[in-house]
Amino acid sequence: MTTVLALETSCDESAAALVRDGAVLAAAVASQVEEHARWGGVVPEIASRRHVEALPQLIERVCSESDLPVAAVDAVAATVAPGLVGALLVASVTGRTLARLHAKPFLGIHHLEGHLASVQLGEPLPPGPYLVLLVSGGHTELVRVDGAGRYLRLGRSHDDAAGEAFDKAARLLGLGYPGGPAIQAAALGGDGNRYPLPKGRISLPEGGFHPYDFSFSGLKTALLRQVRALEQQRPTANAPLPVADLAASFERVVAEVLVERSCRCARDHGLTTLVLVGGVAANRRLREQMAIGCHRDGLELRIAPLAYCTDNAAMIGIAACHRLSAGLNSPLDLGVAARLPLDQSDCLYQTPAAF
Mean pLDDT per 10-residue interval, the chain, length 355 residues: 95 95 94 81 89 97 97 97 97 98 98 95 86 93 91 95 94 92 95 95 90 95 95 83 97 98 98 96 97 97 95 97 95 97 95 95
Task: Enumerate the β-bridge partners of residue 75.
Answer: 4
Given this model, what pLDDT does residue 36 score?
Answer: 82
Q: How far apart are the first and last CA of the chain?
A: 31
Task: Enumerate the β-bridge partners of residue 76.
Answer: 5, 106
Given this model, what pLDDT does residue 300 score?
Answer: 96
Do 112 and 190 fall within a single domain?
no
For residue 275, is it within any domain? yes
CA triple 277-247-84, angle to 5 deg: 45
For residue 355, is it within any domain? no
For residue 320, is it within any domain? yes
Helix then strand then coil, in percent of the chain rounded to 5, is 45, 20, 35
**For residue 199, how many other CB atoms are within 10 A of its CB?**
16
Cα(187)–Cα(247) distance, rounded to whole angstroms? 5
Do 330 and 291 fall within a single domain?
no
Given this model, what pLDDT does residue 106 score?
Answer: 98
**Contact predicate 6/317, CB 8 Å:** yes
The pLDDT tens digits for 26-49 are: 999 998 877 887 887 888 899 899
**For residue 50, how many other CB atoms are within 10 A of its CB?**
22
The CB-side HSE value for 136 (13 A sphere, CA atoms) comes to 21
Given this model, what pLDDT does residue 147 score?
Answer: 83
Do 78 and 133 fall within a single domain?
no
Amino acid, single-letter form, for residue 31? S
For residue 296, is it within any domain? yes
Peptide linkage before 82 cis (omega within 30 of 0)? yes
Given this model, what pLDDT does residue 40 score?
Answer: 77
Q: How many domains does the chain have?
A: 2
For residue 354, is it within any domain? no
Do 171 and 112 fall within a single domain?
no
237: exposed, middle or buried (Cβ count in 10 Å: 0-12, 13-18, 19+): exposed
**Contact predicate 266/131, CB 8 Å:** yes
For residue 122, is it within any domain? no
Given this model, what pLDDT does residue 118 score?
Answer: 95
Of 132, 111, 124, 125, residue with least CA distance to 15: 111
Of 303, 321, 340, which closes a domain?
Answer: 303
Do 42 and 88 fall within a single domain?
yes
**Contact predicate 36/107, CB 8 Å:** no
Do 131 and 111 fall within a single domain?
no
Do 258 and 143 fall within a single domain?
yes
Do 202 and 314 fall within a single domain?
no
Do 148 and 293 fall within a single domain?
yes
What stretch of H or E contains 330? none
Collect all residues with Cβ–Cβ distance below 8 Å to 271 and sequence separation of at least 6. 129, 130, 131, 144, 265, 299
Given this model, what pLDDT does residue 239 score?
Answer: 81
Do 143 and 266 fall within a single domain?
yes
For residue 106, is it within any domain? yes
Cα(311)–Cα(9) distance, rounded to whole angstroms? 9
Given this model, what pLDDT does residue 34 score?
Answer: 78
Do 231 and 272 fall within a single domain?
yes
For residue 25, is it within any domain? yes
Q: Are strands 273-277 and 130-135 parallel, antiparallel or unpaired?
A: parallel
Which residues form the domain of 156? 127-303
Given this model, what pLDDT does residue 127 score?
Answer: 81
Do 54 and 198 fall within a single domain?
no
Given this model, what pLDDT does residue 21 score?
Answer: 87
**For residue 319, how many other CB atoms are within 10 A of its CB?**
30
| Backbone dihedral angles phi then psi of residue 141, each to the nearest 5 degrees | -140, 150
CATH code of residue 64: 3.30.420.40
67: exposed, middle or buried (Cβ count in 10 Å: 0-12, 13-18, 19+): exposed
